[in-house]
Amino acid sequence: MTPTEPQTRHSPALPELRFSLSLLYVGRLLMGMQPTVFDDRLNEVDERIEAVTDELVATELLHEAAVLVGDIDYNP
């Protein structure tokens, strides 16, 4: 999200979701580098990554839809 992008009620959640997803990817990378990590633990992280990705995509779509219909927050 850029500073000039319109703010909607969904805007505050976007940076948090993006940051969470980034941390999950870093954690997955670090876990994958360990020889003692079990596949079921990696699968749990992969499922969480998928869930957060789905939530992020849905929130981005809601944000874009709000912008298109003019549901803009003028007092962020």
Q: Is residue 32 part of a domain?
A: yes
Axis crossing angle, helix 13-33 with helix 39-69, rounded to the nearest 10: 160
Type of residue at 76? P
Considering its fold, how many domains does the chain have in total?
1
Per the domain annotation, does 51 fall within a domain? yes
| Torsion sign, CA atoms 8, 61, 64, 19 | positive
Whether 8 maps to a domain, the answer reads no
Look up the domain containing 64 and give its range. 13-69
| Listed residue (66, 51, 61, 52) closest to 9, CA to CA | 66
Residue 74 has pLDDT above 80, yes or no: no
By residue count, the chain amounts to 76
Q: What is the pLDDT of residues 40-57, one digit of tens each?
A: 889 999 999 999 999 999
Tell me, yes or no, whether 3 lies in a domain: no
Report pLDDT digits (tens) over 11-44.
Answer: 999 999 999 999 999 999 999 898 887 888 899 9
**Placement of tokens 């944000």 in the chain:** 63
How open is the CA angle 37-56-73, to the nearest 5 degrees? 150
Q: Does residue 7 sit within a domain?
A: no
